[in-house]
Amino acid sequence: MSLFSNNINGSRESVLFFPQMKPESKLIELTEEEKTIYDHLKKAHPILLGELKSTVALSNKKWDKGMKGLSKKDLIKVHVEGEKKTVKLNT
């Protein structure tokens, strides 16, 4: 714990710094399915949804689980324009 004192124009202000209050940078943990999809997206994005799905070659269940996980973690966004579905990384 640190205490800083500031004496400007005759007034005193004290500020306490607590190391516990420092915001933590949180690492996002990805499942194997999410890593596979994310790695393919890093190489080529935006990409059509069907193209991405055929490239990663996951089963339907693993594909759904991976895409939902990445969406919940706010790492990807699926844009729909008519019948065209495009997947983009959130930056």
43 occurs within a structural domain: yes
14 occurs within a structural domain: no
36 occurs within a structural domain: yes
Residue 34 has a CB neighbour count (10 Å cut-off) of 22
pLDDT tens per residue, range 5-41? 555 555 555 555 566 666 666 788 999 999 999 999 9
pLDDT at 45: 83
15 occurs within a structural domain: no
Domain that holds residue 61: 32-89
Six-digit token string for 80: 């729909």
Distance of CA 3 to the CA centre of its chain: 35
Identity of the amino acid at 17: F
Q: Using an 8 Å Cβ cutoff, are 59 and 30 in contact?
A: no
Q: Is the pTM of this model over 0.85?
A: no
Nearest one of 31, 28, 33, 72 to 52, comparing CA atoms? 33
Tally the domains of the chain. Answer: 1
Six-digit token string for 79: 């844009």
68 occurs within a structural domain: yes
- Look up the CATH number of the domain holding residue 39: 1.10.10.10
